[in-house]
Amino acid sequence: KISLPHKLTRQYPAYELYLYGEGSYAQENKNLLLSGIPVLFLPGNAGSYKQVRSLGSIALRKAEDIDFKYHFDFFSVNFNEELVALYGGSLKKQTKFVHECIKIILKLYEGQDFAPKSVAIVGHSMGGLVARALLTLKNFKPELVNLLVTQATPHTAPVMSLDSYLNDFYKTVNNYWILNAQDIKLSTLSIAGGFRDYQVRSGLSSLTKLSQQTQALSVVSTAVPRTWASTDHLSIVWCKQLQLATIRAFFDLIDDDTKQITMKPKKKMAVLNHHFIKYPAKPFEEIPNIVADLTGVL
């Protein structure tokens, strides 16, 4: 558990921030002397901060395989399992708390070599919407978030319009993204669960009409290479094949010079396209070798 400023705990008494860890990694980072790449997980409606375990554990195994040349530090927000899909009154509060968490996370790296200046966010369900809502905050700096991955997030409209708070929140977020589509540089990947997700149908997860096509990608889990399976609304968080694809993409996004996720929009979209759409059986190449076989006989 990350210790938060007293002012913040008084303002948001029900919310908490955690750093995921296991084994020797957890022991080594008890004092929060972090040197990795920060990723923030946001749970959805009635979701648990512990759902970060699937991504965090796989990322740790991957880092061990490369002798910790690079590694990710996974943080998770505890929203106290609020039912924000049924009552939208807490969504603004969650968004403001996430903003404060991002600033606190980046402060943990101050003074270190290759200190990150931004975080990547993975949001499940309504957590993905909260992440998009960050851009609507008046004092939010867009450069604080370099990548957004949403899992089964109803982007276009609420699953059920139960109150005016929820509808107003959606209008605010989506209107902002539509009106500022040309200016939003945040690379965003939206993953839908497919036919097994009875709660959020795939159409609601599409970003096609809400953002610039060059910076957003919408996929269904059944079409993701080496996943090929539909997930229900919860299992999308722990579907091993999908989490493996996500972590492979994260590691391919690392810039060798900065030791952080690349800031190049084209490379980010190329990596996401590679792992979630195009080439399932070969490693990512920033400049692919094109070999033409001209030995055929006419």
Q: Which residues are catalytic?
A: 125
3-state DSSP assignment of residue 17: strand
3-state secondary structure 229-292: CCCCCCHHHCCHHHHHHHHHHHHHCECCCCCCECCCHHHHHHHHHHHHHHCCCCCCCCCCCCCC
Q: For residue 270, which of 215, 201, 227 has the smallest C-alpha distance? A: 215
Whether residue 97 contacts residue 62, with contact meaning beta carbons closer than 8 Å, is answered with no
3-state DSSP assignment of residue 224: coil
C-alpha–C-alpha distance, residues 284 and 22, integer Å = 29
Q: What angle do CA 220, 222, 223 make, to 5 degrees?
A: 70
Which neighbouring-strand residues pair with 3? none
**Measured distance between the N- and C-terminal CA atoms of the chain, rounded to whole angstroms:** 68
3-state DSSP assignment of residue 36: coil
- Which long-range contacts (C-beta less than 8 Å, at least 24 apart) are formed by 106-110? 106/38, 106/144, 108/2, 108/32, 108/34, 109/34, 109/35, 109/38
AA identity, residue 147 = L
